[in-house]
Chains A and B, each alone.
Chain A
Amino acid sequence: MNLFVFTNFFAQTGKDLKNLGDYAEAASTKWGLAEPGVYYEGGLFFAGLIKWLLSTTEVSSALPFAGTVNGLMTSLAADGSIFPELGGLLITIGVVFGFVNVFAIGAVWSERKVSAHMQCRLGPMEVGPHGLLQTVADGLKLLTKEDIIPRLADKPLFAIAPAVVFAGVLMRFVPLPFGDKLIASDLDLGLFFIAAVGAVEVLGVIMAGWASNNKWSLFATIRTATQMVSYEIPIGIAFVTVILCSGSFSLMEIVNQQGGSLLSADDGYTYQGWVWHWNLFRNPFMPILGIVYFIASLAECKRAPFDLPEAESELVSGFHTEYSGMRFALFFLAEYAAMYLVAAVAVVIFLGGWWSGIYPLDALGTGPDATIYTKTLGLLVKVGVFLSKAFALVFVQMWIRWTLPRIRLDQMMYVCWKVLLPISLLCFVGSCLWELVSGGASVFGFGIVVE
């Protein structure tokens, strides 16, 4: 389990871009992290920085425990082995957290714009060009708002619930790639991890609803628990089917299979990756399963028409009725992060990940004659393709939200247990048989065989 693929990515880039590599080498040599001439990882900049801070800072002896703290810092600085990992970790966290925040800001803005244009309005226009900075302004407003905790609320639970919800979503970004090699951690059990950690979010929502001591919040909590637990099942079956076909839990591996020989011939992919190698077309049941997954994922991230947990016309505002200020913003952030997450997972498991499905485009930057420029371009294309696919799905989520009314609780359960579950089970069995009979050939007759 390589926890620092991100680090490796930066390191590789650094090696290619000579200056960066030199600088990394110089910096880490200066701080004694490694011997001169050794290959350095990109996270070393940060590691070196921290080490330097630790070794030079001294706590004033007037303070209590000054000796202990200084001793600890010195010994930490002396232990060179932990720093590369620490640096990589910090970069990873920074990139993921930064991405989630920037995405949420952009998504809130685009949701307002999308809804506005669907409703014969203009949406935000005042702050910045076309209201681009409106969400930033709103975020600042939320930051400065009073943090109200109801008198009869369960204060500790109430306070940590938004963090739990947000952490639950953020954790699911760990095994999620953003492009080729751009992944926080390519867990062997990536898909399983995403499905399992989803439960943390439910826990947070239940905590929020219960701690609010508000009947409407409680209603929303029960609805959320019901809904998310139910819809985990079709999603789980969709995951299992994909895993069964791909033979791997790893998201990187699943995507690579859909790209074929593009990655490297050494990995055993003998075919060129085209659109029909995407999992969506792998067998006749996959398109159906893809739709089932998408519907269930709407319910999973509480989007219309499954927005029962926060049904504003029935439950006032659902489980976050009593929240204000930054705690409310965290819920909001988590919701938008979850939107991206389910869309990105759909892209990974069905829509070919970062592969555009056009072989020459995907082949950019591979092969023996690739230069640093084509490699960089290829990487950018892959990131762009992945994000565009995910954003397109997010747009569909928004589109659906501003078009459809909300369904009722019993209808929601009906859709899950009597429609989606049987269909997904059928698709599962069908996919099993297809794999058995066809030996891994896709609908279009092109084999996906890993030797």
Chain B
Amino acid sequence: MLLNMGPQHPSTHGVFRVVVRTDGELVLESESHIGYLHRCFEKCAEGNNYLQVVPYTDRMDYLCAMMNNWGYAAAVEDLAGIEVPERAEYIRVIVAELNRVASHLLAFGTYGLDIGAITPFLYAFRDRERILKIFEKLCGQRLNYSYVRVGGVTFDMTDEILADIEAFCDYFDPKILDEYDNLLSYNGIFISRTSNVGVIPAELAVSYGVTGPSLRGSGVQRDLRRDAPYGIYDRLEFDVPVGSGEMGQLGDCWDRYMVRMREMRQSIRLVRQAVKDIPEGPFCDKKAYRAVKPKAGEVYKRVEGARGEVGFYVVSDGTNIPYRVKARAPSFCNISILDKLTSLSNVMLADLVAIIGSLDIVLGEVDR
């Protein structure tokens, strides 16, 4: 039977369509269709100046907008040779890691929903709310921050907000994270639903350009924060959790899920270090704040987003409007492996939902 899953379907996390050919509950093959949210960010970027592009990057991966801002800002800074003040670098790490926690929390919650557990979702939102409150205090926005800008950040981080962040870290780690593990990670039904399902071998994952937690779930040690440090990540200590096949085969849904859960602890660790060491000083390059006009040239800059490597290829022709901006969206590459996974092994309809959830896609980014 040909089954049209999406574009409106509860577990495709947006407007994503998979045409599946099924035999009863078994999925024989699938074909993904994307583009329902396409608004051609790259074309829009060619009509605005360098600073005006920043809000567009928010709307790509709206769940970890800080990293998108950062990726774009870092690319333009490299292109124009702008020095970012030290304090701004620390602030960037803090907000990016908090945003990563918020994004992983959402991934955790919605994954629970996909598997049929509704309660973890609301637990996750309870704690995500605290992060969003901090961001709201910081920049007045809860989702599309446009906080990290070319040359620094938009507003300075006050001591009050730093105290809030520390309070959040103390609240969140380890008590809350352990609570999540009790609630979902080691639940028998959850393990039986996710282990040995949607196994991505490491080689296949790399070939399909899968990055981020989904790649690390397959046991590949790759994290741009460590392998190609940007910002001040080389000064901070953290581990890169990878999947180990504890509950089944290496690279199954459970591994990918667990990498995210473990990354949250590392993110909190990073935030704690950055909050402790944050220096005094300016929080942005005032000149870059007003206008940027890089020399002709091009740059490709990647940062480690919550879903994988967020890349920006920016070409300048010497004017204050970018000649071309191309975004590498991690979700775009991650979801392209779905069709392969359904053809690799016999998955059931419920597994398809589990696989899509474990890849943690954001359709705003897939379609841009």
Direct contact between A and B in the complex (CB less than 8 angstroms)?
yes
Q: Point out residues on A near B: beta carbons under 8 Å.
A: 115, 118-121, 215, 219, 222-223, 304-305, 307-308, 311-314, 316, 402-411
The secondary structure that dominates the A interface is loop
Contact of B184 among A222, A405, A406 (CB under 8 A): A405
Q: List 27 A-B contacts (CB under 8 A).
A: A118-B119, A119-B118, A119-B122, A120-B126, A307-B116, A313-B115, A313-B116, A313-B353, A314-B350, A316-B10, A403-B117, A403-B119, A404-B116, A404-B189, A405-B112, A405-B115, A405-B184, A406-B115, A406-B116, A406-B189, A406-B193, A407-B193, A408-B192, A408-B193, A408-B351, A410-B348, A411-B192
Known contacts A219-B349, A314-B350, A408-B193; A119/B119 CB under 8 A: yes
Do A408 and B348 touch across chains, with their CB atoms under 8 A apart? yes
A54 CB, min distance to chain B CBs, angstroms: 54
Q: In chain B between 8 and 44, which residues have their CB closer than 8 angstroms to a CB of chain A?
A: 9-11, 24-25
Taking CB atoms, residues of chain B closer than 8 Å to A410 are: 25, 348
Taking CB atoms, residues of chain A closer than 8 Å to B118 are: 115, 119, 402
Q: Which A residue's beta carbon lies closest to that of B10?
A: A313
Residues 166-190 of B, flagged 1 when their CB comes within 8 A of A and 0 if not, give 0000000000000000001001011
Known contacts A316-B9, A405-B184, A408-B348; A311/B116 CB under 8 A: yes
A444 CB, min distance to chain B CBs, angstroms: 33
Contact of B189 among A120, A222, A405 (CB under 8 A): A405
Q: Which B residue's beta carbon lies closest to that of A308?
A: B350
A337 to B112, CA, bound (A): 28
Do B192 and A404 touch across chains, with their CB atoms under 8 A apart? no
Residues 107-143 of B, flagged 1 when their CB comes within 8 A of A and 0 if not, give 0000011111111001100100000000000000000
The secondary structure that dominates the B interface is helix
Known contacts A219-B349, A404-B117, A405-B117; A314/B184 CB under 8 A: no
A119 to B125, CA, bound (A): 10
Q: Which A residue's beta carbon lies closest to that of B197?
A: A408
A369 CB, min distance to chain B CBs, angstroms: 53
A137 CB, min distance to chain B CBs, angstroms: 23
A268 CB, min distance to chain B CBs, angstroms: 47
A306 to B134, CA, bound (A): 39
Query: Number of residues in B with C-beta < 8 Å to the partner?
Result: 30
A222 to B25, CA, bound (A): 10
Q: Which A residue's beta carbon lies closest to that of B121?
A: A119
A119 to B348, CA, bound (A): 30
- Is B291 interfacial (CB 8 A cutoff)? no
Taking CB atoms, residues of chain B closer than 8 Å to A313 are: 10-11, 113-116, 353
Q: Which B residue's beta carbon lies closest to that of A304?
A: B116
Q: In chain B between 308 and 353, which residues have their CB closer than 8 angstroms to a CB of chain A?
A: 348-351, 353
Q: In chain B between 239 and 281, which residues have their CB closer than 8 angstroms to a CB of chain A?
A: none
Do B1 and A215 touch across chains, with their CB atoms under 8 A apart? yes
- Is B3 interfacial (CB 8 A cutoff)? yes
Taking CB atoms, residues of chain B closer than 8 Å to A407 are: 189, 192-193
A121 to B118, CA, bound (A): 13
Taking CB atoms, residues of chain A closer than 8 Å to B193 are: 405-408, 411
What 3 A-B pairs are tightest by C-beta distance, nearest first? A406-B116, A119-B122, A405-B117
A118 to B118, CA, bound (A): 10
Interface centre among A119, A307, A313 (most CB of B within 10 A): A313
| Other 20 A-B pairs with CB < 8 A, given A119-B123, A313-B11, A313-B114 | A115-B119, A119-B122, A120-B126, A215-B4, A219-B25, A219-B349, A307-B116, A311-B116, A311-B350, A313-B116, A314-B350, A403-B117, A405-B193, A406-B116, A408-B193, A408-B350, A408-B351, A409-B350, A410-B25, A411-B192
Known contacts A304-B116, A402-B118, A411-B192; A314/B123 CB under 8 A: no
Interface centre among A115, A219, A305, A404 (most CB of B within 10 A): A404
Contact of A120 among B4, B10, B123, B351 (CB under 8 A): B123
A316 to B122, CA, bound (A): 20
Do B10 and A312 touch across chains, with their CB atoms under 8 A apart? yes
Taking CB atoms, residues of chain B closer than 8 Å to A404 are: 116-117, 187, 189
Taking CB atoms, residues of chain A closer than 8 Å to B349 are: 219, 314
Taking CB atoms, residues of chain B closer than 8 Å to A121 are: 122
Taking CB atoms, residues of chain A closer than 8 Å to B24 are: 222
Known contacts A215-B1, A313-B113; A405/B122 CB under 8 A: no
A114 CB, min distance to chain B CBs, angstroms: 11
Q: Which B residue's beta carbon lies closest to that of A410?
A: B348
Taking CB atoms, residues of chain A closer than 8 Å to B116 are: 304-305, 307, 311, 313, 404-406
Taking CB atoms, residues of chain A closer than 8 Å to B192 are: 407-408, 411
A312 to B114, CA, bound (A): 9
A121 to B112, CA, bound (A): 18
B69 CB, min distance to chain A CBs, angstroms: 31
Do B117 and A314 touch across chains, with their CB atoms under 8 A apart? no
Taking CB atoms, residues of chain A closer than 8 Å to B4 are: 215
Q: Which B residue's beta carbon lies closest to that of A116?
A: B122
A406 to B194, CA, bound (A): 11
Taking CB atoms, residues of chain A closer than 8 Å to B184 are: 405
A441 CB, min distance to chain B CBs, angstroms: 37
Q: Which B residue's beta carbon lies closest to that of A118?
A: B119
A409 to B122, CA, bound (A): 26
A204 CB, min distance to chain B CBs, angstroms: 22
Contact of B190 among A215, A222, A405 (CB under 8 A): A405
Q: Which B residue's beta carbon lies closest to that of A315?
A: B349
B132 CB, min distance to chain A CBs, angstroms: 16
Taking CB atoms, residues of chain B closer than 8 Å to A406 are: 115-117, 189, 193, 350
Taking CB atoms, residues of chain B closer than 8 Å to A314 are: 11, 349-350, 353
A313 to B348, CA, bound (A): 14
Taking CB atoms, residues of chain A closer than 8 Å to B126 are: 120
Residues 285-317 of B, flagged 1 when their CB comes within 8 A of A and 0 if not, give 000000000000000000000000000000000
Do A215 and B348 touch across chains, with their CB atoms under 8 A apart? no
B157 CB, min distance to chain A CBs, angstroms: 29
Do A405 and B348 touch across chains, with their CB atoms under 8 A apart? no
